[in-house]
Amino acid sequence: MPTKSTRVPTHASTPVKRRPGGRSARVQDAVYSAVGKLMATQRPDQITVPMVAELADVNPTSVYRRWGDIDALLEEVAVAAFTREDEVLPDTGSLEGDLREWARVITDDIVRPHRTRYLRAMVNARDGVVLDACPCWTARREQLAEMISRAHTRGERTPSVEQVLDHVIAPLYHHVVFALPADTAYAERLVDDVLSMRSAESR
């Protein structure tokens, strides 16, 4: 998973594993940072490779060679932005407490205007593709599996990882990309709903 080793310099606080070294890393940092700055003021569909290259002070050819096109670059930066390495997984002693805290943190994160722009950029970059899974959810799946496994150890009845993705994460992202209101109260209502479902495992 190359995307897991990348990071957005303005969001991650510590270096991560498998990060490219030397000149390659400097180019990546400069390019990611340039994308982040452009995202703050431009619509994703207005951002071009030459704009990124100029702001990053690198040769456009280097950008094309490494990322192929602007959509692939925006996608990679977006995925990196959703895979924060500094995030602490909640451990409150109950799955309800864990999921509420986890959903609140995600909501606060994705409603920020520049993060919403990243999400819309991902939608935009999806034209003509069908994915088996959204790479931005890999980290979310792992976090959910851990929280649910802890709940099982405590003897709690739980929804499945897929149910939490479908009924908490998907509606939150849907609301954000379609510009519908999304706040922590909404996130907590989704958590209540999923916890009141019959578990997929018991079907």
Q: Which residues make up the interface to a second copy (CB under 8 A)?
A: 43-46, 117, 120, 122-124, 126-127, 129-134, 163, 166-167, 170-171, 173-175, 177-181, 189-190, 192-193, 196-198, 200, 203
Nearer to a second copy, 56 or 79 (CB): 79
User: Least Å distance between CB 22 and a second copy?
Assistant: 34
* Closer residue to a second copy in complex, CB, 145/197: 197
* Distance in Å, CB of 144 to a second copy, minimum: 15
- Cβ proximity to a second copy: between 30 and 170 the closer is 170
CA atoms 128, 34, 112, 91: torsion sign: positive
Q: Which is nearer to a second copy, 67 or 137 (CB)?
A: 137
Shortest spacing between CB 115 and a second copy, in angstroms: 13
Q: Give min distance, CB of 123 to a second copy, in A.
A: 5
The four Cα atoms 78, 83, 89, 94 give a dihedral, to 10 degrees, of 60
